[in-house]
């Protein structure tokens, strides 16, 4: 365990003692055996690489000090799964993390291309690592230097329709949240995703499609702007 403590101590600026203890708990449950380092840094969460014997995993750790209360509250209000929004910020981040895990699990079970969720504890989520054949983490599509944008757009739209069929709207859909695994999309970052029963579902769905259409259009793809009305009808009819 001393070796693992030294590994965690490298990230002392990221982890507080509480989070380090959570990682120990998850490790002791057998979910991972090695902690390998950081994959990506974000405003609300960082993602780290881990291994469970020969299997590579991703550990997403939400920040309990720097996350935005306003942003979290915006997507929590109106979600029937979370009828009470706590004023304790740390507990709110725990709910936010749980929301991502629930959304990820729902999308995964309905066949959406997402990382397989494995375990959730407080502000930590353990999931499948999306990687290439050499086990390098797959990049988001905006970081890919060579990409068949027309084909990727078609695949992305098919995944978005699957998201709707699963009863969700992503609500933060963009080129940053779509990984390229062997020229196929994998959708990530699900904390803000909402149920289609949410009162602002049409607004968030339209924003998703406007964002992704704009990005692909800038890459020379002829996008389908009529999808917005089509998907609105799909939601209304549910």
Which residues are catalytic, by number? Answer: 172, 189
Strand locations in 53-103, DSSP E?
55-62
3-state secondary structure string across 113-151: CCCCEEEEECCEEEEECCECCCCCECCEHHHCCCCCHHH
Report long-range pairs for 11-18 (Cβ below 8 Å, ≥24 apart).
11/38, 11/48, 14/38, 14/46, 14/61, 15/61, 16/64, 16/65, 18/64
Tally Cβ neighbours within 10 Å of residue 145. 5
Q: Work out the burial of residue 30: count CB atoms within 10 Å of its CB; fewer than 13 is exposed, 13-18 middle, 19 or more buried.
A: exposed
Q: Work out the burial of residue 217: count CB atoms within 10 Å of its CB; fewer than 13 is exposed, 13-18 middle, 19 or more buried.
A: middle
Which DSSP helix (H) or strand (E) runs through 164?
Answer: helix 149-165
Dihedral sign for Cα atoms in the order 176, 163, 71, 90: negative
Question: 9 to each of 56, 67, 221, how far by Cα in Å?
Answer: 21, 22, 46
């Amino acid at each position: 365990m001393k070796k693992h403590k030294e590994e965690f101590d490298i990230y002392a600026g990221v982890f507080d003692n509480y989070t380090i203890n959570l990682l120990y708990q998850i490790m002791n449950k057998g979910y991972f055996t090695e902690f390998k380092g950081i994959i990506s840094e974000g405003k609300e969460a960082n993602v780290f690489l881990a291994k469970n014997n020969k299997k590579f995993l991703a550990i997403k750790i939400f920040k309990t000090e720097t996350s935005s209360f306003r942003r979290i509250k915006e997507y929590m209000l109106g979600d029937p799964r979370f009828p009470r929004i706590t004023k304790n910020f740390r507990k709110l981040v725990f709910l936010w993390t749980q929301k991502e895990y629930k959304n990820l699990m729902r999308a995964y079970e309905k066949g959406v291309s997402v990382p397989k969720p494995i375990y959730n504890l407080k502000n930590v989520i353990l999931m499948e690592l999306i990687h290439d054949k050499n086990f390098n983490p797959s990049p988001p599509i905006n970081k890919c230097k060579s990409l068949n944008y027309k084909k990727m757009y078609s695949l992305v739209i098919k995944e978005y329709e699957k998201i709707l069929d699963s009863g969700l709207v992503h609500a933060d859909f963009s080129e940053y949240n779509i990984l390229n695994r062997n020229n196929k999309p994998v959708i990530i970052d699900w904390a803000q995703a909402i149920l289609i029963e949410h009162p602002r579902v049409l607004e968030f769905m339209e924003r998703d499609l406007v964002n992704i259409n704009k990005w692909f259009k800038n890459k020379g793809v002829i996008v389908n702007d009529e999808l917005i009305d089509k998907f609105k009808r799909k939601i209304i009819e549910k």
